[in-house]
Amino acid sequence: MHKRVIDGRFELVERLGGGGMGLVWRAWDLALHREVALKEVRPPDPSIDEHDPAHARELRARVLREARALARLNHPHVATIHHIVDPGEQGYPWIVMELVTGGSLQDRVQRGPMPPPEAARLGREVLSALRAAHEVGIQHRDVKPANVLLRADGRSVLTDFGIAAMRESTSLTATGSFIGSPEYMAPERINGVEGDPASDLWSLGMMLYVAVEGRHPLRRSTALATLAAVLNQDVPPAERAGVLGPVLGALLVRDPAARPDAATLDGMLAAAESGHLPAPPLPHP
């Protein structure tokens, strides 16, 4: 079978997955003789090029801006971007990234809940990636177990920042499908309030809750019912969280201003990682 080669250099081997932003492929770099991940960026609504070419152009430009900003981060817990293939107006970009082979946090949680100190270590790694991104003005907007990949040595890598480029236009595509993951989305984002990095911290808290409990406290049978639960229902206390309990309690509160800032949160996670019960954060002045 003839394999598809992108940009005369990257031979597509197999499809690894897809999300709101496009498809991810395992590929072979014919120049450097190494495996890479290739992200085929495509809009969730394929008819956008026909119906709204100006918006499609803006989307392409935003994806490229975001990829360049992420490439500058050079952070140990952010997936490394090696190269961008930009076909110009003829199509959407391909982003060439490191291939992370250890599966995702979602795969890990399906094998059973994580011990709280291990989840706290992972939480600190993801938090450090979010802090680096927030400092250069990038919010992730889709922190969830499927977007945290695990390297062979167990260290985690946050991936798939690109949803930000899609989300700002509209949360619902023309075909009515939802962008983002409703069960990990902060209540204020569901209400259309953007621009607060604390929203990513809610998502981190919900992800850690699922990691130690092995289940999601507000997931319902449909996406709409889940959205309603996130908006209207308090998160029940985790039963298996142990030393992580105070962290989850501090993050999963409706008011973004009441969540701990990143530095305080890192201190709380560090205590939990070492097996100590962290002190609750001081109230904001």
Where residue 35 falls among pLDDT bands split at 50, 70, 90? very high
pLDDT at site 172: 41
255 catalytic per annotation: no
- Torsion of the alpha carbons at 15, 224, 166 and 44, rounded to the nearest 10: 50
Give 179's pLDDT tier (boundaries 50, 70, 90): low
- Confidence label for 44 from pLDDT (cuts 50, 70 and 90): low
Compute CA distances 205 → 5, 84, 104, 208, 248, whole Å: 40, 32, 17, 5, 6
The residue ranking higher by pLDDT, 175 or 76, is: 76
Q: Which CATH superfamily is domain 105-273 in?
A: Transferase(Phosphotransferase) domain 1 (1.10.510.10)
At 228, list the tokens.
């309603």
Catalytic residue, from 52, 86, 142, 261: name it. Answer: 142
How far apart (Å, rounded) are the C-alpha atoms in residues 285 and 283? 6
47: its two tokens? 């008819």
Q: What is the DSSP string of the chain?
A: -PPPEETTTEEEEEEEEEETTEEEEEEEETTTTEEEEEEEE--SSTTHHHH-HHHHHHHHHHHHHHHHHHHHH--TTBPPEEEEE--GGGS--EEEEPPP-S-BHHHHHHT-PPPHHHHHHHHHHHHHHHHHHHHTT---S---GGGEEE-TTS-EEE--TTHHHHHTT-SB-TT-PBPS-GGGS-HHHHTT----THHHHHHHHHHHHHHHHSS-TT--SSHHHHHHHHHHSPPPPPSS-GGGHHHHHHHS-S-GGGSPPHHHHHHHHHHHHTTPPPPPPPPP-
In order of 24, 87, 144, 191, the CA distances from 61 in angstroms are 20, 12, 25, 27
Strands 5-6 and 22-29 turn out to be unpaired
Assigned CATH topology for domain 7-97: Phosphorylase Kinase; domain 1 (3.30.200)
Residue extents of the structural domains in the chain:
7-97, 105-273
Position 166 confidence tier, pLDDT thresholds 50, 70, 90 = very low
Question: Over the stretch 257-268, which tens digit does the pLDDT of each residue have?
Answer: 999 999 999 999
Rounded to 5 degrees, what are φ and ψ at 24?
-115, 135
Give me the sign of the Cα torsion angle 79, 85, 86, 92. Answer: negative
Q: Identify any residues that bridge with 78 across adjacent strands, giving them in sequence order.
A: 158
Model pTM score: 0.86
Mean pLDDT of 36-44: 83
Residue pLDDT, tens place only, 49-65: 677 778 777 778 877 87
Using CA atoms, how far apart are residues 129 and 140, in angstroms rounded to an integer?
A: 10
Report the pLDDT averaged over residues 160-176: 49
pLDDT in tens, 221-259: 998 999 999 999 999 999 999 999 999 999 999 999 999
* pLDDT at residue 284 in the model: 63
